[in-house]
């Protein structure tokens, strides 16, 4: 049974999706408050790569509509154990309630896992087919790093997936995402020297191990005092780096943005250097602007040269082309502090067939902070595009 947009929105009146991020791990957790929603029937297993997987089906016999939703989770720190995404229980219950099958995987590794994740997800579809039968439609969806995985997979595996929903991912320019996080760290170090051990491209293991305590006891008190006594320093930091910021907004929001971006610097740099075969951040020729004294800033900010091999690896395997031939839907908050909204126009500039693409901008602060209605509308739009694709028509060229 197909579910119309009206049906999906009706479900939204019963569903409350809350996406919360812990300050230490920024692990995405989705909590569903649907007391009458039946639980999915799930089966866990281990893929040949070592990744953990979960497949869930509607619990009512004969209620499967033939569709499969495959979920690509977001970034998990390298040191965390492999695990089924915490949000998968709520997502599985919702997806199967709508009549779809659901499948997700831990991936075989944590950290920067884009390439192995793509392989584990295609393998997961094969496992689903072996266990449940061949689905009529396969929809791939993912937030954050999972959003990049979804868009890259839409380009590479149109024979496996029928459509992709990518939310708040770095799909516009992965190198620009690397630069955004690196720039924030070097500008932070300029305005607040000595608070962060190591550098933007070299994180001491001791800082990784003690990050929560270090931020709470060393960094946060200084930032809180600065917000009270010299708030212009914070304003300059946010203006120069382009991090979402409105003067006078709640201090907790500003501190949250700073902590989120520093967390990603601490927990991604060393791993990314290993995965990419070198250090990818380069600001040697960058001109920073927006401070009270830009010449002093540019003279004093730390400079780093990227390893060419790392940037070559990004260009070859982590940059989207926009050349997909299956429908793609994206959704992004306009004030995303972790994966900025600038990825949207950059991605749209690449798209070869805009008639099979839809984007939903959400005017809100935060990373993946969507409501239930917004999420369901985006998914419904993907279903509609897959069922009724508006492919461009190419007329034959007649030479006279």
pLDDT by 10-residue block (mean), the chain, 400 residues: 39 32 28 55 97 94 90 97 96 94 98 98 98 97 98 98 98 98 98 97 98 98 93 96 88 94 98 98 98 98 98 98 98 97 98 96 95 91 93 49
Under 8 Å CB-to-CB from 395, ≥6 apart: which residues? Answer: none
Closest CA to 268 of 4, 31, 74, 14: 74
Report which DSSP code applies to 90: H
Q: Which helix (H) or strand (E) holds 141?
A: strand 137-143
Q: Which long-range contacts (CB under 8 A, 24 or more apart) does 58-64 make?
A: 58/96, 58/97, 58/99, 58/100, 58/101, 59/96, 63/1, 63/99, 64/99, 64/100, 64/101, 64/132
**The pLDDT of residue 52:** 98
User: Where are the domains positioned within the chain?
Assistant: 5-173+320-387, 174-313
Q: How far apart are CA 150 and CA 71, in angstroms?
A: 9
Q: How far apart are CA 195 and CA 214, in angstroms?
A: 9
**The pLDDT of residue 48:** 98
**The pLDDT of residue 18:** 28
Q: What does pTM read for this prediction? A: 0.89
R_g of the chain computed on alpha carbons:
22
**The pLDDT of residue 250:** 84
Q: Are 50 and 116 in contact (CB under 8 A)?
A: no
Read off the tokens for 351.
């798209």
Closest CA to 363 of 385, 344, 380: 344
Q: Which helix (H) or strand (E) holds 18?
A: strand 17-21
Pick the CATH number of 5-173+320-387 from 1.10.760.10, 3.40.50.300, 3.40.50.1820, 3.40.50.720: 3.40.50.1820
**Helix and strand element counts for the chain (H, E):** 14, 10
Assign 367 to helix, strand or coil.
Answer: coil
Q: Are 28 and 18 in contact (CB under 8 A)?
A: no
**The pLDDT of residue 397:** 43
Residue showing tokens 């061949």: 134
């Amino acid at each position: 049974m197909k579910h119309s947009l009206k049906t999906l929105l009706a479900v939204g009146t019963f569903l409350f999706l809350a996406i919360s991020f812990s300050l230490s791990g920024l692990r995405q957790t989705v909590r569903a408050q649907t007391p009458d929603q039946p639980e999915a029937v799930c089966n866990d297993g281990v893929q040949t790569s070592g990744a953990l997987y979960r497949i869930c089906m509607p619990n009512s016999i004969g209620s499967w509509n033939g569709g499969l939703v495959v979920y690509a989770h977001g970034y998990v720190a390298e040191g965390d154990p492999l695990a089924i995404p915490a949000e998968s229980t709520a997502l599985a219950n919702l997806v199967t309630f709508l009549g779809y099958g659901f499948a997700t995987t831990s991936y075989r590794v944590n950290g920067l896992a884009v390439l192995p994740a793509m392989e584990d997800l295609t393998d997961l579809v094969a496992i689903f087919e072996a266990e449940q039968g061949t689905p009529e439609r396969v929809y791939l969806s993912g937030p954050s790093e999972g959003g990049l995985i979804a868009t890259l997979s839409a380009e590479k595996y149109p024979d496996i997936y029928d459509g992709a929903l990518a939310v708040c991912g770095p799909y516009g320019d992965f190198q620009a995402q690397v630069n955004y996080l690196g720039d924030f760290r070097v500008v932070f170090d300029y305005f607040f020297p000595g608070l962060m051990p190591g550098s933007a491209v070299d994180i001491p293991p001791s800082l990784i191990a003690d990050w929560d305590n270090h931020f709470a006891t060393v960094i946060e008190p200084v930032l809180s005092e600065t917000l009270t006594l010299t708030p212009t320093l914070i304003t300059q930091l946010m203006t120069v780096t382009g991090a979402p910021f409105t003067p006078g907004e709640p201090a907790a929001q500003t501190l949250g943005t700073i902590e989120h971006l520093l967390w990603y610097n601490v927990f991604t740099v060393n791993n990314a250097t290993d995965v990419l075969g070198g250090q990818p951040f380069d600001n040697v020729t960058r001109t920073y602007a927006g401070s009270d004294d830009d010449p002093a800033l540019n003279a004093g900010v730390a400079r780093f040269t990227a390893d060419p091999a790392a940037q070559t690896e990004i260009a070859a395997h982590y940059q989207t082309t926009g050349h997909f031939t299956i429908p793609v839907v994206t959704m992004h908050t306009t004030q995303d502090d972790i994966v900025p909204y600038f990825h949207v126009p950059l991605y749209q500039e690449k798209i070869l067939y805009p008639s099979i693409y839809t984007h939903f901008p959400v005017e809100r602060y935060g990373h993946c902070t969507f409501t239930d209605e917004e999420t369901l509308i985006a998914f419904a739009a993907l279903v509609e595009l897959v069922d009724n694709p508006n492919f461009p028509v190419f007329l034959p060229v007649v030479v006279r």
